[in-house]
């Protein structure tokens, strides 16, 4: 296939819309099911680059959950704990490594992953397809699909689920172009490799960077490479647990990502794990109810009687003091930033969500203040020397 006619571009009024190769060659992907749109392809091609690079850098099967050209979550494969299975609504016993990677990627921010685009570094198998079948998702990109997985995915969305198979050996041209307002921009494709060599410049007094934290730094930085800037990413145990994308202020990125990391951790609290669900409550409704339960809006829900729609009995209020105390128990989090922290306030905010390791480019005129703040809390900070803006 040399070109694909889209229904429309970013919005319904933007017609005609086409996907094609400038040199007239074959497109490096096949559409196995559905009819992907403009934004679907933007998510697919960005998310594929992320998971491909993450697999190359870590050697682990990798997955991402994309929405509006930024990752809601990304993760490498690791076995799921009993708590993971509960908070991610995993009912199936069998879980392949690539299935666990996707479940963890989606679990980073299940609200933002609603209607996501899934990306897998490895062939999609039946375990992954079975889990994905029960989730609200727009499409998937992978280097291949087993016959059983493809048959399962073709049953989604009344047979219209978007399934793209990417050529894993495809390499794009070294130069890329983009048109804005009829004006063409040209730049070199961002082929910068992110690996452990990037983490050697540790600028803090504490220089103990364990292997697990190195992997988390790599996950954060590769995730940031494909996140709309400005962006900050919190990571734990090989999965992004909070992504703050597209903010104009660095501190707002850090706060946004930190609040998402806090929400992810609150899902694991005893109060949330013991919520008395009605048997027929769908996953998205559970996600929404948990989000409300852990927010300041829950007392309004109690007054309005809305709790009766999802719970068999009235759960007690999760007080602000209780939530704050639970979040304080979060430890060992890694934080990455796509550009330097201009002030120490970013470190202060990151620490509140359990940050013990930070990776950022450095280069601010206030680097000394940022390092001093990290030293105050014994945080390990690596200066990578490389900005990772993505637009």
Q: What percent of the chain has pLDDT over 90?
A: 94
205 pLDDT exceeds 90?
Answer: yes
Say whether 33 is catalytic. no
Fold of 3-166: Cytidine Deaminase; domain 2 (3.40.140)
Say whether 252 is catalytic. no
pLDDT in tens, 11-53: 999 999 999 999 999 999 999 999 999 999 999 999 999 999 9
Cross-strand partners of 311: 277
How would residue 245 be classed by pLDDT, with cut points 50, 70 and 90? very high
305 pLDDT exceeds 80?
Answer: no
CA distances from residue 132 to 40, 174, 297, 369 in whole angstroms, order as listed:
17, 34, 30, 45
Say whether 68 is catalytic. yes
Q: Looking at 40, 162, 230, 263, which residue is catalytic?
A: 230
Q: Which CATH number is associated with domain 175-266+327-383?
A: 3.40.140.20
How would residue 83 be classed by pLDDT, with cut points 50, 70 and 90? very high
Say whether 230 is catalytic. yes
Q: For position 300, what pLDDT does the model report? A: 77
Q: Looking at 68, 157, 352, 390, which residue is catalytic?
A: 68
32 burial via Cβ count (<10 Å: 0-12, 13-18, 19+): middle
* pTM (2 d.p.): 0.96
How would residue 299 be classed by pLDDT, with cut points 50, 70 and 90? confident
Q: Are 43 and 67 in contact (CB under 8 A)?
A: yes
For residue 64, is it left (φ>0), alpha (ψ between -120 and 50) or beta? beta
Mean pLDDT, the chain, whole residue set:
95
Q: Looking at 52, 55, 67, 236, which residue is catalytic?
A: 67
Q: Looking at 22, 158, 331, 391, which residue is catalytic?
A: 391
How would residue 73 be classed by pLDDT, with cut points 50, 70 and 90? very high
Output the six-digit token pair for 211: 């292997």
């Amino acid at each position: 296939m040399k070109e694909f006619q889209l229904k429309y571009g970013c919005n319904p009024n933007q017609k005609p819309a086409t996907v094609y190769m400038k040199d007239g060659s074959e497109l490096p992907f096949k559409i196995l099911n559905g009819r992907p749109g403009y934004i679907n392809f933007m998510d697919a091609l960005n998310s594929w680059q992320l998971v491909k690079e993450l697999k190359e850098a870590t050697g682990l099967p990798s997955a991402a959950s994309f929405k509006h050209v930024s990752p809601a979550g990304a993760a490498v494969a690791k076995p799921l704990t009993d708590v993971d299975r509960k908070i991610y609504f995993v009912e199936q016993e069998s879980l392949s490594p690539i299935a666990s990677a996707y479940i963890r990627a989606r679990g980073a921010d299940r609200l933002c992953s609603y209607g996501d685009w899934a990306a897998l570094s490895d062939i999609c198998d039946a375990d992954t397809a079975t889990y994905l079948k029960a989730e609200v998702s727009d499409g998937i990109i992978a280097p291949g699909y087993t016959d059983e997985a493809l048959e399962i995915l073709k049953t989604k969305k009344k047979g219209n689920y978007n399934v793209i198979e990417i050529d894993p050996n495809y390499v794009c041209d070294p130069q890329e172009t983009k048109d804005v307002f009829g004006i063409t921009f040209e730049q070199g494709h961002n082929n910068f490799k992110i690996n452990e060599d990037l983490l050697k410049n540790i600028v803090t007094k504490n220089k103990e960077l364990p292997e697990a934290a190195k992997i988390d730094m790599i996950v954060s930085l590769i995730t940031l490479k494909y996140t709309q800037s400005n962006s900050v990413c919190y990571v734990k145990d090989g999965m992004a647990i909070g992504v703050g994308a597209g903010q104009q202020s660095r501190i707002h990125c850090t706060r946004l990502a930190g609040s998402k990391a806090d929400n992810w951790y609150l899902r694991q609290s005893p109060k949330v794990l013991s919520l008395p669900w009605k048997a027929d409550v769908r996953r998205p409704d559970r996600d929404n109810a948990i989000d409300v339960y852990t927010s300041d809006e829950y007392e309004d829900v109690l007054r309005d009687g809305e709790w009766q729609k999802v719970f068999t009995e009235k759960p007690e209020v999760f007080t602000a003091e209780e939530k704050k105390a639970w979040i304080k128990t979060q430890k060992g989090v890694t934080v990455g930033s796509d550009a330097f922290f201009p002030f120490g306030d970013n470190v202060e905010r990151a620490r509140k969500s359990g940050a013990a390791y930070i990776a950022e480019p450095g280069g601010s005129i206030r680097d000394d203040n940022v390092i001093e703040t990290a030293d105050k809390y014994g945080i390990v900070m690596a200066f990578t020397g490389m900005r990772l803006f993505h637009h």
